[in-house]
Amino acid sequence: MSHPTPADPATTTPAAAPTTIVYTVSGMSCSHCENAVGAELSALVGVTSVTADASSGRVTVTATGALDDEAVRAAVDEAGYELVGRA
């Protein structure tokens, strides 16, 4: 009878810590804007949640690892808005 061997801690890869970054986006004025930006950002690899607030122009993005600011910029541009930068 064989027994499963425990995973070797030296060879297991720890899960990446979640990363949360707040960005400033210009041009959002309503819930449609929030949804458009949220949909584009949610499509990025590793993104687990997006919260957009048109009144403040802030977008909070949480991902399983590091976020590529240029990929975030491209997604915001695709939605029709402008990424100002990190808040």
CATH assignment at residue 32: 3.30.70.100
| Average confidence score pLDDT of the chain | 90
Q: Which of 15, 5, 9 is nearest to 63 (CA)?
A: 15
CA distance 70 to 41: 12
In a domain, 69, yes or no: yes
DSSP letter at 67 equals -
Cα distance between residue 2 and residue 31, in whole Å = 58
> For 2-13, what is each residue's pLDDT tens digit?
555 555 555 555
Task: List, in order, residues 6 or more apart from 30 with CB less than 8 Å away.
Answer: 54
Helix boundaries (H) for the chain:
31-42, 69-79
Predicted model pTM: 0.81
pLDDT digits 0-9 by tens, 42-69: 999 999 999 999 999 999 999 999 999 9
Residue at 63 is within a domain = yes
- Summarised one tens digit per residue, pLDDT across range 16-43 is 689 999 999 999 999 999 999 999 999 9
Q: Which domain holds residue 58?
A: 19-86
Residue 9 is assigned to a structural domain of this protein: no
